[in-house]
Structure 1
Amino acid sequence: MFVGRKRELEALEKQYAGNDFEFAVIYGRRRVGKTSLIVEFIKDKPAVFFTGRETNLAENLVLLSGSIQASRFGVEKAPVYQSIDDALDRVFSAADGKRLIFVIDEYPYLAGAWRGISSTLQEKIDHRSKKCRLFLILCGSSLSFMENQVLGYQSPLYGRRTAQYKIEPFDFFEAGEFFPNLNSQDSAAIYAMAGGIPSYLNRFIGSAPLKEKVIANFLSPQGFLFEEPENLLKQELRDPANYNALIREIARGATRVSEIASKTGLETGVASHYLDTLIQLGIVEREMPVTEEVQGKTRGRKSLYTVKDNLFCFWYRFIPGIIDIIQHNNTEKAWDFIAEGFSAYMGRVFEEICRQYLWRENTAGRLPFFFQQEGRWWGHDPLQKMESKIDILAIQGKTHALFCECKWRNEGTGRDVLEALLQKADHFRFEQKYYILFSKSPFTVGCKKLAAERGGVRLLSFREMNVNR
């Protein structure tokens, strides 16, 4: 089932409707839905779709020749072309005066089989693009290769693209389209485990109880997601062992580089290098207090590291500690271990969902002001004379601020939570201050009364956030 990607499809269709040569680069992490997007876009259109293989040039040439023969523009009894150059000539010629889409999926594999492919494509584009209507699409899962060897300044293809699409995982609300009949808390739990990757979300479609789906995918040695994060690291990295250790410690609560390095036994400089690679892969992110980001700081003593990808965060937080239990087919014990710590784990995910919600409301103009930046804040509170943190702080310049607290717990959110948030906001010197309490559970009478008395406070339950999901 194809879900979402409306904005990308509309942009691709707009490109297709033109009369000129087009060259789109589509990239993103594995299983994020790049190929599904392309297949949805090219259906009912004349196209050559070729997938590069991790094999030698000869076999890739045979497969490319077959893709050309099977294409809509038709070549009866097409030969195996003598070279990639000849095959590309045939495709460019077929697009003279008419629109034809040519997709090379898994482009890094083809480039690995023949290093001259980018230079050859450059030559074709430079000398033949003005008289043809070819729509060339290069697609790849290796982020570093696509950003450096296709989009980068040193690439022969630099400056030739007419569009680029970095395909990101779905947010919680987009992921919910996979489960239109599921209650919002189960949807949140699935998102917390699988993230926004379509291939993983598809594993949770169906009427079976959530527990059965978790057991089938994570808690069985044959499960689709049982070894998925480790396998992804092996595909992307030469030295996955240290990366495994880093991710696990961050998922378990280590946030500062010195702490992460100490727990993994790595030198701080080495750990920083590995962390930068994980950031590039979209698995880990480095955060600064949002007020310092406004000042242009990107790292420093206050930098914190978190696991950005939900699948990786969930897997490394829970699965390594129960591998032996799973291998001995004791799924109930494994499930109990996850269930015991899952509510605490959901606190981080709920903050992420609330941030996504705020951006949707911000874009729609449904907040008291349009904020330019948002993020977490932590630091010293001079009024309370202690370290403090704010779950979400959204800012417009130096004048407006929105302070948010996110509570994922079964008991009702009370007056004390709102009082604490108001106190934290007191030492900030914004002219206009607003407040939102996000809560999994309903709010107490005392909390509602204080919100009404104070003004500028919105109390928002998780159920209300999902009314128009």
Structure 2
Amino acid sequence: MTFYDRNEELDALETAFSSPGHDFYVVYGRRRVGKTNLLKEFCSDRPHIYFLAAQEAERRQREKFVETVATYFDDRVPRIDGWDEALEYLGDKLATEQLVVIIDEFPYLVGENDSLPSYLQSFVDEQLQETDSMLVLCGSSVSTMESDVLGHESPLYGRRTGQIDLQPFSFKQAQEVIAYDIETAIQSYAVTGGTPLYLTLFDYSKPLAENIQTEILSPTAVLYNEPEFLLRTELRNPARYLSILEAIATGHTTPNEIAGATGIDAGPLSKYLQTLRNLRLIDREVPVTASPKQSKRSRYHVADEFLRFWFRFVEPNRSSIEEAPDIVYDGTIEPNLPDHVATTFEAVCQEVVWDAIRGGDLGPYAAVGRWWYGEDEIDIVGLAPNDDRILLAECKWTSEPVGQALAAQLREKSERVRWGSDTREVEFALFSKSGFVDGLAADLPNRWSLFGLDDMNAQFACK
């Protein structure tokens, strides 16, 4: 598979390895995000040992690890009785050669022996520090990596020299893969999200509709059962989690709404929601003007565009897809896809705002997010508390150009956003898939910014 982007992460790893002294890096992120491909790309032209852990008995895990080390050094496999001896054996070998040592899916090892972080602490302190080699621990269980490797209670706390929390591609990054015009690219991104594996499964020489039917709606396709597979690898009993994700994906976003849609009581529901947040499958959001810790106006959304698409369109229609996928696409997906894409469009517009802030075209603003109160909602609000300045923006994925009516609505709603002083400075922006009515830009004051799709594309193209 072609390797895309990740230049910043590669630069960080390369800088660390080329600098004097040892390195202990931690690379983590949810499944399918590209951690293994990143590390293999980094090691492709460097001497390295790569060990992929598996869900098997501790003794067999340890034997395979020692065999991997011995094979690299063309050594006879020694008899090893514990992880302390296995790591000591590795340390003796690293004293003779500078290497990158990668232990992938490290949580599987911890699952069989929770003392392993202590053994690694001794290895780092007593042997790795005396070398110029690099140890990389990699894992998909974010909670395990953050608690057993990075957490304050971990024996390894404070030993790492760097870490990479690998994220899915943003839309701007994904454009390198998505070979469509920007309108279709946003639609496609609303289906695949930024997970590299999902992005590369589509054939962009074919229409988006054909890709959806071939790569998602076919029972033999990789993506047809992908979310269910992911949940079963992380959770013993995924049924309730599946129902929660479907509820959120179909518009039930508050705790009360989710409870009503799933029949799960508030007490257990809060634990399920926290687990899904730990797995990075959902995000909790509060109005950007509110305190995340104190606000009770929380909403949840599915954190991945593909999962949101799957739980909205695939999971509820599995039986029909098995019998007549074309009818499901034509009758259910195609007519409702614009509404689904509209949510993604808001996220893409927020990317544009941050890009414009970094480029000095807007702001600066310290926080950017959504705002709502009662019946009022604003798609994007930016806050600059030090300058007493606020940005308010609306995003429209519609077939008609935007005109004065939307600008007037945004002005009216801005008066109800309680933030800053009475003399705050207000900046406005409008985003539109179908552009703007003639003369709108000239009719609006200078504090208004208008972004059509071409403007958004140009913003992303700025370095």
What TM-score do the two structures reach when normalised by structure 1? 0.92
Native 8 Å contact 1:27 1:141 kept in 2: yes
Native 8 Å contact 1:33 1:199 kept in 2: yes
Distance 1:446 1:182 in 2: 30
Counterpart for residue 262 of structure 1: 260
Give the drift of 1:33: 0.4
Question: How far does the alpha carbon of each residue in 1:255-294 deviate from its partner, in whole angstroms, 9 at most, with x for none?
Answer: 21112112211111221221122122222111111111xx
Distance 1:190 1:399, change over 3 A: same
Question: How far does the alpha carbon of each residue in 1:404-461 deviate from its partner, in whole angstroms, 9 at most, with x for none?
Answer: 000001111121111111121234545211111001012012533432xx22111110
Distance 1:200 1:164 in 2: 25
Question: How far does the alpha carbon of each residue in 1:331-361 deviate from its partner, in whole angstroms, 9 at most, with x for none?
Answer: 3433431111000111111110111111122
Give the drift of 1:14: 1.4
1:400 aligns with 2:395: no
Alignment counterpart, residue 304 of structure 1, candidates 299, 303, 308:
299
1:236 aligns with 2:230: no
Helix, strand or coil: the match of 2:27?
Answer: strand
Counterpart for residue 412 of structure 2: 423
Give the drift of 1:24: 0.6
Question: How far does the alpha carbon of each residue in 1:103-136 deviate from its partner, in whole angstroms, 9 at most, with x for none?
Answer: 0001111222333322211111122233222210
Native 8 Å contact 1:9 1:41 kept in 2: yes
Q: CA RMSD of the aligned region, Å?
A: 1.9
**Structure 1 letter corresponding to 2:150:** L
Counterpart for residue 105 of structure 1: 104
Distance 1:299 1:249, change over 3 A: farther
Counterpart for residue 437 of structure 2: 444
What TM-score do the two structures reach when normalised by structure 2? 0.93
1:152 aligns with 2:151: yes
Question: How far does the alpha carbon of each residue in 1:296-317 deviate from its partner, in whole angstroms, 9 at most, with x for none?
Answer: 3435332122222111111111
Counterpart for residue 288 of structure 2: 290
Alignment counterpart, residue 211 of structure 1, candidates 204, 209, 212:
209
Distance 1:430 1:236, change over 3 A: farther
Where do 1:46-445 residues align within 5 Å?
46-71=47-72, 74-79=73-78, 81=80, 83-96=82-95, 98-179=97-178, 181-292=179-290, 296-367=291-362, 369-379=363-373, 387-397=375-385, 399-428=388-417, 429=422, 431-445=424-438
Native 8 Å contact 2:24 2:134 kept in 1: yes
Counterpart for residue 44 of structure 2: 43
Distance 1:143 1:302 in 2: 26
Native 8 Å contact 1:402 1:433 kept in 2: yes
**Structure 2 letter corresponding to 1:396:** A
Aligned length: 454
Native 8 Å contact 1:26 1:167 kept in 2: yes
Counterpart for residue 384 of structure 1: none
Give the drift of 1:59: 2.8
**Percent identity for Structure 1 against Structure 2:** 35
**Structure 1 letter corresponding to 2:253:** T
Native 8 Å contact 1:91 1:102 kept in 2: no
Give the drift of 1:168: 0.8
Native 8 Å contact 1:418 1:447 kept in 2: no
Native 8 Å contact 1:322 1:334 kept in 2: no
Counterpart for residue 11 of structure 1: 12
Unaligned runs of 5+ in 2: none
**Structure 1 letter corresponding to 2:50:** F
Distance 2:353 2:262 in 1: 36
Helix, strand or coil: the match of 1:225?
Answer: helix
Distance 1:449 1:19 in 2: 58
Native 8 Å contact 2:254 2:298 kept in 1: yes
Distance 1:273 1:299, change over 3 A: farther
Native 8 Å contact 2:17 2:133 kept in 1: no
1:466 aligns with 2:460: no
Helix, strand or coil: the match of 1:222?
Answer: coil
